[in-house]
Amino acid sequence: MALWFILAMMTACAVFAVLWPLGRRHAAATAGHDVRVYRDQLDEVGRDRAAGRIGDAEAEAARVEVSRRLLAAAESGAPAPAASSLHLRRAVALAALIVLPIVSGGLYLALGSPFLPGQPLAARVGSQDMPPIAQLAAQVEQHLERNPQDGRGWEVLAPVYMQLGRFDDAARAWRNAVAYNGSTAQREANLGEALTAAANGVVTAEAKSAFERALALDANDARPRYFLGLAAEQDGRKDEAAAIWRKLLASAPADAAWAELVRDSLARVSGTPAAKAPGPTAQDVATADALSPQERQQMIAGMVEGLATRLKNDGNDLEGWLRLVRAYTVLGERDKARAAVSDARRALQADAEKIHRLDELVKNLGLEG
C-alpha cells in the first residue's frame, strides 16, 4: 500500500509541475522594474547636464539611448490576462491533475497485472515454465553482460537466438563473434544467414558482403554460393542465379542434404521443375540446355509423368509428391497439381505430419479450392 501511495504522489507532483504555469497570473513585474530604472537614468542625465558634469552632445546621446531602452521595456510588458481566461486555465490544470492519474490508474488496473509479484532474471532462468533453450540464452546473456568481449560466448549464443527466431539478436551475436574471434568462412556465412532471416528472406547488401567474404575464405562452401545465387535472383538476374546454382549442383556430393533446395530454386528461375529424386547431374543440365524449347518442354513433361507413374506404385514418398505438385504448378497445369494433391492425401492419410507438409505446400502455391 505504501508503494501505491508513493507512486500516486510522484505522479501528482509530475503533473502538477507541468501544469503549474497554466494557473499562474502573468504579471509584468520585470518590465515595470526596467521602466523605472530607465526613467531614473533619464533624470540622472538631466541632473548631470545641469551640473555641467557632461556636455550637451554627451547628454543628448545618453538621453537617446536610454529613451530607446525605455520604449523597448515598456512595449515588452504584456497586460495581465482576463479573469475568465485565468480561471479557465486553472480549471484545465486542476482537471488534468485529477483526471489523468485516475484514468491511467484505472486502465492499469483493468489491463495490467498490478498484483503480479516481480520476478528477476535469476528467478526466471530457473523457472520450470521457461523452455530449456531460453534458459540457456538467459544464462549466456548474463555471462556476456559481465564479459561483453567473450567471443566464445557470442558464438554459443548466436545459434540459440536463431532457434528462438530472434534473428536481429543472432546477427548482432555473429558480428561480435567475428569481431572477437576472427573472420572464418563459417562465421561469415552464419552472419549472412542471420541477416537474411532478419530481413524476411531478402539477401541485404550487408548479408551479401558477408557471403562474399565467406566465399573468399572457402570457395567450396555451398552455403554462401547458394545465397549469392538467391541475391542474384532477387536483383532480377535470373540467368546469373541459374548459372550459380547449376555449378553448385554439379559439384554437390551425392548425399548432399541441401541439393533438393538448390534444385527447387533452379526450377524456380529456369522453369525446369526438379522432378527427379536424385536431381540432375551436370550432364543432364548440359543436355537440357542444348535442346530447343519444344524439346526441353517434352523432356520435362516426360520426367514429370515418369514421377507421377512412380508415385502411383510408391505413394509413401512425400518428397516425390511435393516435387510432383510443384512441377505441375510450374508447367501451368494446376488441375493436374490439384489432382496430385488429392492422390497424395489418400496415399499419406495415415501420417498427419506428411499431410501437414503437403497442406503447407498447397497453401504456398495457392492451390486451395
pLDDT, tens digit, 9 for 90 and up, residues 255-280: 677 888 888 888 888 765 544 444 44
pTM, rounded to two decimals: 0.43
Q: What is the pLDDT of residue 277?
A: 43
Question: Which residues contact residue 53 at a Cβ distance below 8 angstroms, ignoring those fewer than 6 apart?
Answer: none
What is the rounded distance in angstroms from the CA atom of residue 231 to the CA atom of residue 209? 11
Helix (H, G, I), strand (E, B) or coil at 28: coil
Interval 279-294: pLDDT, tens: 444 445 455 555 566 6
On the CB side of 333, CA atoms within 13 Å amount to 16
CATH number of 273-369, picked from 3.30.70, 1.10.1760, 1.10.3710, 1.25.40: 1.25.40
User: What residues contact residue 103 under an 8 Å CB cut-off, 6+ apart?
Assistant: none
- Output the nine-digit C-alpha cell for 316: 509413401
Please state, as a whole number, how many other Cβ atoms lie within 10 Å of the Cβ of residue 45: 20
* pLDDT value at residue 27: 47
The 3-state DSSP composition of the chain as helix, strand, coil percent (nearest 5) reads 75, 0, 25
According to DSSP, residue 81 is labeled P
pLDDT (0 to 100) of residue 47: 83
Q: Which of 25-34, 87-96, 306-315 has the highest mean pLDDT?
A: 306-315
- Going from N- to C-terminal start, the domains of the chain cover 2-111, 273-369
Per-residue model confidence (pLDDT) at position 273 = 54
27-49: average pLDDT: 69
Cell for 299?
A: 523432356
Is residue 190 packed enough to be buried (19+ CB in 10 Å), middle (13-18) or exposed (0-12)?
A: buried
- DSSP labels for 178-196? HHHH---HHHHHHHHHHHH
Q: Look at 345 and 110; give whichever has higher pLDDT.
A: 345
Q: What percent of the chain has pLDDT over 70?
A: 67
Greater model confidence, 250 or 28:
250
Q: How far apart are CA 245 and CA 266, in angstroms?
A: 6
